[in-house]
Every structure is written in structure tokens, then in C-alpha cells.
Amino acid sequence: MPYDSNNVFAKILRGELPSVKIFEDGQTLAFMDIMPSAEGHTLVIPKESSETIFDLSQTGASALMATTQRVAGAVRKALNCEGLMLVQLNGTAAGQSIAHVHFHIVPRSEGLDLRLHGRAKADPQVLEPIAARIRAQL
């Protein structure tokens, strides 16, 4: 199946949809998840048009992982969380809901229940101060 250039992340990359950005370089973008599972839930995407990890070039995959590692460290420090989950899904059967490869960075603490992803939209004004704390740790 060809890459759908009208998916939500492609529109964010083109500036057609807003996002609360955390980090951007020539190959990747990290931003707050608008429907977070936990406070600080962050997404990292490549700028390369790739639906799954299998479609991504090695250069793109390296850049995606490097940014994920860097941003995950900043999320951990900013939220002072005990742990964090990295989630990367490939294909609808695996639960991928947006057809553009991406990593979820989800802060975790003992006893913290995760909210179901995609159920409630967060206010960008609530997300921005969290994003600022994460950016300060980069």
C-alpha cells in the first residue's frame, strides 16, 4: 500500500495541523501526544514518508532511534518518572492508528494507571508547560 500523504503526522510535518513541539531537527520531530495515556506522553516521528518501521530507510531509522533516545531521557528527567515505556506499532493489526511510523514515549510510575490512548483530547495549553519542562532537559 502506498504511503498516505494526508495522514495526521504528514499534515503536522507540513504545518497544516498544529502540534506542541518538543524537538525538531532535519530528520525527526518530537511533540506532545494530543490524546495522552499519561502526563508527558510524547511522540517521535521521522520526516521521511514511511508507514511502518519496515518502510523506513536505515538512515531514517537511525535518526528516529537517536531522537527517541534523546527525548526519552529528557522526558524521564522532566517528569521525574520511575520508568517509561517506548511503544512502536506496525500495522493496524498491531494497533497502529496513524499510518506514519512513530514511537510513543510514555512516562510510568508505580501505581499510575494508564488512560486508554485516543479516548480524550488534551488541551494544548495544558500540554505546553509539560513540553517546556521536557525541552529544558534537552
For 80-132, how does the pLDDT look when each residue is reduced to its tens digit (9 = 90+)? 999 999 999 999 999 999 999 999 999 998 776 665 566 678 999 999 999 99
What is the DSSP-derived secondary structure letter of residue 92?
Answer: G
Mean pLDDT of the 9-25 span: 98
* Cα separation, 108 vs 83, whole angstroms: 5
Mean pLDDT of 26-53: 96
43 contacts 35 by C-beta, under 8 angstroms:
no
The CATH architecture one would assign to domain 8-135 is 2-Layer Sandwich (3.30)
What is the residue extent of each domain of the chain?
8-135
pLDDT of residue 109: 83
Q: Is the pLDDT of residue 10 over 80?
A: yes
For 108, list phi and psi in degrees, rounded to 5: -135, 140
The three three-digit cell numbers of residue 10, written as one number: 504528514
Average pLDDT over every residue of 16-33: 98
The pLDDT of residue 110 is 79
Nearest to 49 by CA among 106, 95, 7, 109: 7
Question: What pLDDT was estimated at residue 67?
Answer: 98
- Residue 117 is a catalytic residue: no
Q: What is the structure's pLDDT at 99?
A: 96
Q: Spot the catalytic one: 41, 100, 102, 104.
A: 102
